[in-house]
Structure 1
Amino acid sequence: MACTQRGNNELKMKAKRMMKEAKDPIEKLRYACLARGASGIKGLGRTFRIMDDDSDLSLNMKEFKKGIHDYGLIMDDDVVSSLFEQLDKDHSGSLSFDEFLTALRPPMNNSRKELIRRAFQKLDRTGDGVVTVQDLHGVYNVKKHPKYISGEWTEDQCLKQFLDSFDSPNDKDGKVTEEEFMNYYAGVSASIDNDAYFNLMMVNAWKL
């Protein structure tokens, strides 16, 4: 279950407000991403992966600044530099993707993380760590989709639209990794304060 339009709009408004109040560079970047909706953090992660020409899964200061700029986030150079220095804990001059995205995710307790992992494992029928349209057959029912009922779309087209909802608006590749799924739901989680409601939403959505 992707974040509803209403939930996404509420998250964007809350994030824009919090971004103005945030003093910490990591929080500023986190809210700047969430101001784009639940898929904002996942989208930034994908932008950085595309930039990683040498596939070493890390970024230097120059790549980091370019990634933030290419994703369209407006941040002062000194804030970006301060952010990089704060994240580069071993002062090596480079950041690993995993450390960066883990630091960027809104804080979540272990029970929420476990629910997200279980939902992903249910979707990932092949167990290869990537969810595609093929994985969704028999897991996600499209029979009630209006365009399927009308005959306008095939089952695969409906499943592709569902998968797209977890993707960044301008960067859909038809694949969702566990990291991207976690980053997406970290955004959804940020819009839900109540643990019981988050639990109920995930259990109902994914029949966990």
Structure 2
Amino acid sequence: MDWKFHYGELVNKVKYQLHAKGLDVITAIYDYYQSFDIDGSGQLDKVEFENFLRKVGMFLTTQELTVVFKHFDLNQDKQIHYKEFVEALRADFPDKRVAVVRYAFQSLDRSGAGALSLADLVANFRAAAHPRVKLREKQEDRVLAEFEAGLSLRADGDVVSEAAFLEFYADVSACLPAEKDEYFVDMVLDTWGLVSTQRVSELEDILYEKVRQRTHGADDEGKTAARVFRHFDKDESGSVSFEEFNQVLEAYGC
């Protein structure tokens, strides 16, 4: 087999092994990587890199190792600097993953300011909902600490822009193989307590159907919805609170 045409598959295997080792963010890989830098140069030669891969559970043939090494050795100096390794892993950030991260940020950024507080993000991050915690593979406090450490590297002081938020999740994505798209999406949504856009669309359809079913005679759906809205708008403010809206959904059986 001509492995030069299959480096993508081999790199994906590297990501699979990193994930299997519980390395969920780029920063968590650093200690592993540095421990094989025998001469302290900040980079690994081919032998050191092979030992690193074996440490994370990946055993390659000589030909496979050559292909993977060349892929990560971006400047072709026969050494792989940690930054090169990270850059190569982060190169592929699938659109599906990018979309859910943007959705999460925009959902959290209710004011539309384009920036969020690092402290607020850490306070609101639901580490208990992380799949590693739910599967009892990691403790909640460890997941939270990894999140804070990783996001802090991308933040500007206490300010986290949308770009910084995306950069952090690009780091997270870099440790996940291609077949883990749904894992990534669920992780982002669950740890921020969000509902997918697909589910929101489904709820809209259900609510519309419930309104249609309650519309009779000369009324139309708009009048029916307005009547229900006024019923739950107790203070006649022209808007309903989250609790009031929840009552609307319950009244319609949603």
TM-score after normalising by structure 2: 0.42
Larger Rg: 2
Comparing both structures, which one devotes a greater share of its residues to helix?
Answer: 2
TM-score after normalising by structure 1: 0.49
